[in-house]
Structure 1
Amino acid sequence: MLKPLSMVLSVALLVTGAVIAYPADDALAVDVTLAAQGAPGGLGVSGSAVTGLYPGNKGQLTVVVKNPYRFPVSITAVSGHLVATSRPGCKATYANLTIGRYAGAPALPARIAAGKQARLGYLPVWMPAKSVADACQGATFTLRLNATARKAG
């Protein structure tokens, strides 16, 4: 039996813009971009930019996985977890930023050829409509992306 390959990568969602305004409906309006930091060795996991994120609005963090091995792998799971924020009053809770389950095509498990990179589906990311703390304006949210793979047959 083959043991699963596992890799973890930290990804920072950067809230951009110096001034955050409250529209008439009191919704927090922010733009979010994504910056990925890779870990040496193992699978490479990155994500796309998430823009136009504000309370009640969803974005999609598209997942890209690079297979550095000399054999094909089968990606069996992808997930993301909120681990930190840059603002003291903005807690790293799902009340401030929520990461959903992997969705889109291809469905998992997804095969990636030896030495190749593949664009997979996405993780939905959103700020809940009514619970986001005011302290989260202009905050940086740090996510940990997890991808699990096994050697493809």
Structure 2
Amino acid sequence: MRYTPMAAVVAAVLLIGAGASTRHDDPEVAVEATLAGQGTPAKLGVGGFPVTGLYPGAEQRMTVMVHNPYRFPVTLTAVSGKVTAVNRKGCTVTSADLTIGRYAGKPALPARIGSGRLIRIGYLPVRMPRTVANACQGATFTLRLSITARKASK
């Protein structure tokens, strides 16, 4: 049988509040997507822990969770985030008001995720610049979290 790499892009919408800091044990949101060409109802899942306690000049880490329900390992090749909305007039969906940095932490990418595993992987740095608009104080931002994965080679 000929091996063809399979890829999937998964996105989750996460809300990020700038209020007081709290911790959660479960990801706020999980979204699923099927690995292309697998012909199975199982789906990759991705989620993240909400980020709170942001203020001008502050940076927090958004921990990312990935679930592989397949009967084979997958290789996670990319993790990213993008701000897609904000709930306050006068606050914009630009890097002037909130920035999402590059994936960091362990495991480094590409990362192998075993069959049936739900793992907490690294994080995305979330930063509110010192020059943020006053309208963004206490705002809730919506973040789209994306991962790219493929069937792991043997």
Q: Which amino acid aligns with 1:126?
A: R
Q: Which residue of 1 aligns with 2:93?
A: 92
TM-superposition CA deviations, 1:44-99 (whole Å, max 9, x none): 11122434321111111111111121211110000000000011211111111100
Task: Give SS of 1:135's match.
Answer: helix
The answer to whether the aligner puts 1:39 opposite 2:31 as a matched pair is yes
Q: Which amino acid aligns with 2:76?
A: I
Gaps of 5+ in 1: 18-30
Task: Give SS of 1:38's match.
Answer: strand
Maintained 8 Å contact 1:66/1:116: yes
TM-score normalized by the length of structure 2? 0.82
Maintained 8 Å contact 1:10/1:37: yes
Write the distance in 1 (CA, Å) between the matches of 2:82 and 2:22.
16
Runs of 4+ in 1 over 6 A off after TM superposition: 32-35
Gaps of 5+ in 2: 34-42
Q: Which residue of 1 aligns with 2:8?
A: 5
My pick for the range that moved more, 132-141 or 51-60, is 51-60
Task: Give SS of 2:109's match.
Answer: coil
Write the distance in 1 (CA, Å) between the matches of 2:23 and 2:73.
31
Sequence identity percentage: 53
Q: Which residue of 1 aligns with 2:143?
A: 143
Task: After TM superposition, give the deviation of residue 109 of structure 1 in Å.
Answer: 0.8
TM-score normalized by the length of structure 1? 0.82
Q: Which amino acid aligns with 2:119?
A: A
Task: Give SS of 1:16's match.
Answer: coil
Maintained 8 Å contact 1:13/1:33: no
Q: How many equivalent pairs are there?
A: 139
Task: After TM superposition, give the deviation of residue 147 of structure 1 in Å.
Answer: 0.5
Task: After TM superposition, give the deviation of residue 16 of structure 1 in Å.
Answer: 2.9
